[in-house]
Structure 1
Amino acid sequence: MTYKTQDGSGYFLYHSIGMYPDKEAEMEAAFSQFSRSWSRMDDHQWMRALAARQEFLELWSNLIGAPKGTLTSAENVTTALYSLIGALPEHHLKDRTLLVAGDCFPSLHFLLSGLAKRFGFELRTVPLRPDESWVRDEDIIWAWDESVGLALLTFVTSTASHRCDLETLVAHGRRMGSLVGVDITQGVGIIPFRVDEPHVDFTLSTSLKWLCGTPGAGIIHVAEPLLSTCEPELRGWFSQDNIFSWDLDAFAYAGDARRFDHGTPSVLACAGSVPALQWHARQNQAALLAHNRSLGQAIIDAAPSLGMELISSRDADRRGGSIMLRLPEGADPAVSVNELRDQGIYTDCRGRIMRLSPGAVTTAEGLDRLFAGLRGVAKAA
């Protein structure tokens, strides 16, 4: 018998799309408000739209402690990274090394491998050790010498929920004279993060996951003194202090992070994510994490009896909000996900790795259904 529920009790997909109570109604209201405003027969459409975007930027700045003027929106982390690479003074990358871990978000590696020849850097990818699930911090440090002009770190990985030791890695990067950036997409909203603890040169993220926002609502933060030296090649009318300055011979970058804007920004995605960011800002952050940790530990404790191997770290301090488990031999990932869906359990797999991310709407009752479903998966295997 198929179990139908939309209460979120069995929702384990915060690594993909986050949920919170009343999300549908609040997002619908935000989009409806934008539609009414944008369709109004007056001359204030842009004023209202940009005010909604500014609220998005302020909520994000408050969330990660980004100083005023150091953060702007981006369509996604890939476009944000492209904009950053194209903005750097040449000496940071030309004839130097760009360091990244082999378990970074693949889209970023696809981008960097394509840009290496053009910008004259060597892309050094730190591999996973055989039969391990994440790149060790000590292996990153071993590969990180004074040839590294820029290192892109992953705060929490999407494949093992490994949380890197940012403090140790950033300190090493400073000794090597490298720029240090961090992709916080899989951790922000559940794991505390501030751009100055430790100080990083740039930060990339989306609003999709633990923050429960919409597609297209990404951010790029660039700290001083790097920010004032950047001249993005991806630029346009919104890159200027006065966006309505259309003198073709007098382009000048804005004095703050707006220089990383370019053409007309994706205001709708920002406006649609404001309710989620407002909801998140109102929550007790310690309580959100405690709820996640309680359900996550229960999954870890149950894994052996379910015939599933833990892929994530047992150490909560070295883990994000997700728990990754390897399916038993003989279990088909697609069939397993479908069977769990029939029980009102929502998760996904990357190969034979099942990703389970309990969040604000997930409950202990949903966890019981998950375990019952996984026992069925193990039995079938």
Structure 2
Amino acid sequence: MTDQRDTDRSGYFLYHSIGQYPDKAADMARSLTAFADCWGAANDDQWGYALGQRQRFIDLWSQLLKAPSASLTTTENVTSALAALIMALPREDLEGRVVLVAGDCFPSLHFLLTGLAERYGFRLRTVPLREGAHWVEDEDVIAAWGPEVGLALLTWVSSTSSHRCDLATLMAHGRKQGSVIGVDITQAAGLIEYDCMAVAADFSISTSLKWMCGSPGGGILQVMPDVIARCQPSLRGWFSQDNIFSWDINTFAYAPDIRRFDNGTPSVMACAASVPALEWHAAQDWSAQLEKNRAFCSQIIAASDAAGFELASPRDAAHRGGSVMMRLPDDVDPQALLADLRTRKVYADARGALLRCSPGFVTTQAGVDRLADALGSLRRASA
């Protein structure tokens, strides 16, 4: 018997975690079956097919982000992407200087930076949230960002508030300070347009999960060509060379483009699993998808207000990603709420008392209505 949760996706609100699109399971199954058929065949076709799937993944991501040619490669996740970049920068970019990050960044990246600070000789400066605030204000980031900052990592959209920073203002300030600037685009890539050339950050990192609807393990690192030329990645291997079949162990030269950030034999399974989602993305009318998301988010905010909950996301859509977060009252058990939502075929999640709801491509008006009814019933029961 088919689990109803697998067929009724109208109440799916988890795009901040794992993205879904129509026919995702069937598309992924076909892609992985094709990979298995090729990889298990007794011939010599395997690497041509596997590396072709990886290149298709790179090309689709590059097209989506309008990235310069040969400036984007694969990584396992955003943490490994940031680590690769830091370990490749010239020593003078970091040693004795400050790395700046906001206190509402993705925690995994903060864990990484804390661990690398002593080894690479930089001081980590974390811009705190104001008392009672749900996100770090752009003006506080600017106030903490002086010429001593060697590298700044900006979180485009926060995973805990859906606050969207003002990239144009922050980039302009950072350029005056002479910093290397990176952007974690994970929480909005695939929903809100991100143009690498227009933003002009030195590097961008993301995953193929969330709005991209792809597979875990399908991370990306995009680096601008002038920065690539200054980088010498510490983790290197045969795929870091211009000619990967150069076997002289006493002669090594980095590839002239983003390939220098590759190392040993690349992982391709996540690329093959994610290509169908990226192809689906490339065929969408993104203005219509964003308009749908905005309409549903407005309804969720109204339902939260009606229930008397504290909104933990910006009200203004221009300052928000694709999610709505709300803080639950002290007398509400988040896990009990999530269990109740499941009985209504509504799927969200909670980080402590923070309820996170992200309406996306398979979410429908009926699902939003069920979520709103659940929030209203919860508040009535609490009262």
Q: TM-score, normalised by structure 2?
A: 0.97
Question: What is the correspondence of 1:148-159 to structure 2 with a 5 Å cutoff?
Answer: 148-159=149-160
Counterpart contact for 1:202–1:222, Cα < 8 Å: yes
Match of 2:325 in 1: 324
Match of 1:151, SS? strand
Please state how far the C-alpha of 1:329 moved relative to its aligned partner.
2.6
Please state how far the C-alpha of 1:360 moved relative to its aligned partner.
0.8
Q: Which amino acid aligns with 2:38?
A: S
Match of 1:88, SS? coil
Match of 2:182 in 1: 181
Match of 1:210, SS? helix
Pair 1:47–1:288, CA change in 2 (3 A):
same
Question: What is the correspondence of 1:1-381 to structure 2 with a 5 Å cutoff?
Answer: 6-381=7-382
Residue-by-residue CA offset, 1:45-77 (whole Å, 9 max, x unaligned): 011100010000000000001111100000000
Q: Which amino acid aligns with 1:235?
A: R
Counterpart contact for 2:303–2:375, Cα < 8 Å: no
Counterpart contact for 1:70–1:256, Cα < 8 Å: yes
Match of 2:111, SS? helix
Counterpart contact for 2:303–2:376, Cα < 8 Å: no
Please state how far the C-alpha of 1:5 moved relative to its aligned partner.
6.3
- Ranges in structure 1 where 5+ consecutive residues have no aligned partner: none
Task: For 1:330 and 1:34, locate their aligned partners in 2 and report how far apart those are by CA, in whole Å.
Answer: 50
Task: For 1:310 and 1:62, locate their aligned partners in 2 and report how far apart those are by CA, in whole Å.
Answer: 35
Residue-by-residue CA offset, 1:132-176 (whole Å, 9 max, x unaligned): 000000000000000001100001000000000000000000000
Residue-by-residue CA offset, 1:252-310 (whole Å, 9 max, x unaligned): 11111011111221201001100000001100010010000000001111212122111
Match of 2:198, SS? coil
Please state how far the C-alpha of 1:378 moved relative to its aligned partner.
2.2
Task: For 2:286 and 2:36, locate their aligned partners in 1 and report how far apart those are by CA, in whole Å.
Answer: 32
Task: For 2:338 and 2:16, locate their aligned partners in 1 and report how far apart those are by CA, in whole Å.
Answer: 15
**Larger CA deviation: 190-199 vs 141-150:** 190-199
Residue-by-residue CA offset, 1:168-194 (whole Å, 9 max, x unaligned): 000000000111100000011111111
Root-mean-square deviation over aligned CA pairs: 1.2
Q: Which amino acid aligns with 2:127?
A: V
Task: For 1:150 and 1:4, locate their aligned partners in 2 and report how far apart those are by CA, in whole Å.
Answer: 44
Task: For 1:119 and 1:208, locate their aligned partners in 2 and report how far apart those are by CA, in whole Å.
Answer: 30
Counterpart contact for 1:309–1:327, Cα < 8 Å: yes
Please state how far the C-alpha of 1:4 moved relative to its aligned partner.
5.3
Residue-by-residue CA offset, 1:212-240 (whole Å, 9 max, x unaligned): 00000000001021111100001112111
Q: Which amino acid aligns with 2:220?
A: I
**Larger CA deviation: 187-196 vs 369-378:** 369-378
Q: Which amino acid aligns with 2:62?
A: S
Counterpart contact for 1:5–1:344, Cα < 8 Å: no
Counterpart contact for 1:167–1:197, Cα < 8 Å: no
Task: For 2:203 and 2:133, locate their aligned partners in 1 and report how far apart those are by CA, in whole Å.
Answer: 29
Task: For 1:3 and 1:366, locate their aligned partners in 2 and report how far apart those are by CA, in whole Å.
Answer: 14
Please state how far the C-alpha of 1:377 moved relative to its aligned partner.
2.5
Q: Which amino acid aligns with 1:55?
A: R
Percent sequence identity over aligned pairs: 57
List structure 1 segments (4+ residues) > 2 angstroms apart after TM superposition. Answer: 2-7, 375-381
Please state how far the C-alpha of 1:354 moved relative to its aligned partner.
0.4
Q: Which amino acid aligns with 2:294?
A: R
Aligned length, in residue pairs: 380
Counterpart contact for 1:64–1:193, Cα < 8 Å: yes
Q: Which amino acid aligns with 1:63?
A: L
Counterpart contact for 1:74–1:80, Cα < 8 Å: yes
**Larger CA deviation: 16-25 vs 368-377:** 368-377
Task: For 1:174 and 1:234, locate their aligned partners in 2 and report how far apart those are by CA, in whole Å.
Answer: 28
Q: Which amino acid aligns with 1:125?
A: T
Match of 1:196, SS? helix
Task: For 2:117 and 2:158, locate their aligned partners in 1 and report how far apart those are by CA, in whole Å.
Answer: 23
Match of 1:369, SS? helix
Q: TM-score, normalised by structure 1?
A: 0.98
Q: Which amino acid aligns with 1:332?
A: D
